């Protein structure tokens, strides 16, 4: 197990050696955003009328893997409490996401986030009576 971890660490360091500072910082901000650590404002607007249709603010992550006509926004609203919104996009409805506060990201530190709940399944134990 230690050998596999060492090989993985060396591979990550090799990949990092070829990364530019801006790429690393951008990657780290994306990871922080997906971990609900970044305050955002996401505005959906009509490109023809220039009117705002909807604004979502808070610790929000944009959907990953959404198709071209749908955007999901998931927001952390309390400790272990989340809300997910599904929004439709069209040829005249678009969005932009604004980071409201600066992040202090280290360009020399690469982030890898392991989520134990994804690695170890949730096991419920029953006691016999």
| pLDDT confidence band for 76 (50 / 70 / 90) | very high
Angle (CA) 70-90-35 rounded to 5° is 30
Within 8 A by CB and 6+ apart from 22, the residues are none
In the numeric block, the tokens 């971890």 are attached to 5
Of the ranges 16-20, 31-35, 66-70, 92-96, which one carries the lowest mean pLDDT score? 16-20
Residue 61 has pLDDT above 60, yes or no: yes
Residue 14 has pLDDT above 60, yes or no: no
| pLDDT confidence band for 7 (50 / 70 / 90) | low
pLDDT at residue number 63: 84
Q: Is the pTM of this model over 0.75?
A: no
Residues 79-95: b if buried by 16+ CB within 10 A, e if exposed: eeeeeeeebeeeeebeb
Of the ranges 20-34, 61-75, 99-113, which one carries the lowest mean pLDDT score? 99-113
Angle (CA) 89-66-57 rounded to 5° is 65
Residue 15 has pLDDT above 70, yes or no: no
Which residues make beta-bridge pairs with 71?
Answer: 87
Ordered by start, the domain boundaries in the chain are: 21-103
Tell me if residue 103 falls in helix, strand or coil: coil
């Amino acid at each position: 197990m230690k050998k596999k971890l060492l090989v993985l660490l060396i591979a990550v360091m090799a990949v990092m050696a070829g990364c530019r500072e801006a790429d690393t910082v951008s990657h780290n901000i994306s990871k922080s955003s997906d971990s609900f650590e970044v305050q955002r404002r996401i505005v959906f607007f009509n490109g023809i009328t220039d009117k705002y249709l909807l604004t979502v603010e808070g610790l929000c992550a944009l959907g990953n893997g959404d198709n071209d006509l749908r955007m999901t926004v998931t927001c952390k609203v309390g400790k272990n409490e989340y809300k997910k919104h599904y929004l439709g996009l069209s040829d005249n409805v678009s969005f932009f996401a604004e980071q409201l506060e600066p992040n202090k990201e280290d360009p020399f530190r690469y982030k890898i986030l392991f989520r134990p709940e994804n690695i170890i399944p949730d096991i419920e134990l029953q006691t016999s009576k």
